[in-house]
Amino acid sequence: MTRPTLVQIRRDLHRIPEPGFQEVKTQRYLLNYLDTLPQERLSVKTWRTGILVKVHGTNPTRMLAWRADMDGLPIEEETSYPFRSVHPGYMHACGHDLHMTIGLGILSHFVEHPIRDDLLFLFQPAEEGPGGAQPMLASEEFRAWRPDAVFALHIAPEYPVGTIAIRPGVLFANTSELFIDLVGKGGHAAFPHRANDMVVAASHLVTQLQTVVARNVDPLDAAVITIGKIESGTRQNIIAEKARIEGTIRTMSRESMTKVKERIEALVRGIETGFACRAAIDYGCTYCQVYNDPALTREFMDWAGTRRDIRLIECSPAMTGEDFGYFLQEIPGFLFWIGAETPYSLHHAKLEPSEQTIEVAVRLVTDYLAWKSAQD
């Protein structure tokens, strides 16, 4: 497959971002493309809005898997692209359009140039939420084609094209959404003593939440609590009866995640008592850490370090979240960053990753999987 074809695929996918488990157009596009490939070595299954594709090897002794995520984000696009999203309020702002394109490029190569081992390509929905990895792992379709190792990548805006960054062990954090609802008693702004003001209660709680990491987490560990949204009230002269706080928790250890949640729950109970209100906590979508298998990762780093077309960096852990961690809990493998060279961060409305990344990634991964398959 030529690079312009892959670039066009990426642009087509960029135009149709969809929410998790609603990737209907995306799934149809991928299936239509798969239909254009030689079918002799292909087996295809669908699972919800995802796809599993097996490329049969010439003399398989194991199965190696490659995963690409599919969903978009609820962001109104602000790029300069002529191929911007046609779905208002949704955008591929995390590079999943590139991830799918890279996956198709790798798959297409091995359909034409088969290797010894079987290859499984996982096009996984709902990475951004509510989480597609866990239910895909539990599905009959996946269990029938359970691989021996699984790999993935993620674009990194901060690195130049041609750079990959990886480390053995923890690469991405444990993450959890955080939703807190407070319910008090509304009233007239002139009579605050007759009401329980949830704007004030929420403000106190947000301030208290900032003490959790500073005073309850081992300073040699790492954790983050970010409150990204507060909703309360209807107008300036009405005391708010309800407030909703939305945020995220990220920790480098499972132990810290447990401790942080325990402390949040204690603070919320205190707010209930102090402000005579009711409170409810919902942790929403929770992802485990991405833990790269040390032996496989070191082997990959040694292999990649010999390439002249790649700059290899052993990076630090990041507080990003990725449900690929659930695959790595059950199956050895790794995920790595690949440079996409753009000034805007992931989840930014102006994210424009370099399309040169596609060619670099396809070449790197096809070479690696062919090399890996040839190893005893």
196: CB partners within 8 A, 6+ apart: 184, 185, 241, 275, 276, 277
Question: Where do we find the tokens 């669908």?
Answer: 46
Most distant pair of Cα atoms in the chain: their distance: 80
C-alpha to C-alpha distance for 43 and 107, rounded to whole angstroms = 12
- Per the residue annotation, which of 77, 128, 322, 341 is the catalytic one? 128
- The residues pairing with 138 across neighbouring beta strands, listed in sequence order, are none
End-to-end Cα separation, the chain, in angstroms: 29
Is residue 197 annotated as part of the catalytic site, yes or no?
no
Nearest to 229 by CA among 210, 247, 216, 249: 247
CA torsion sign for 145, 28, 129, 369 is positive
The token pair at 182 is 């407070």
Is residue 282 annotated as part of the catalytic site, yes or no?
no
C-alpha to C-alpha distance for 28 and 25, rounded to whole angstroms = 5
The answer to whether the CB of 189 falls within 8 A of the CB of 239 is yes
Order of strands, edge to edge, in the sheet holding 42-47?
A: 42-47, 50-55, 118-124, 63-69, 149-156, 333-339, 163-166, 311-314
The answer to whether the CB of 337 falls within 8 A of the CB of 166 is yes
Question: Where do we find the tokens 């497959």?
Answer: 1
- Per the residue annotation, which of 69, 127, 197, 293 is the catalytic one? 69
Catalytic residues: 69, 128
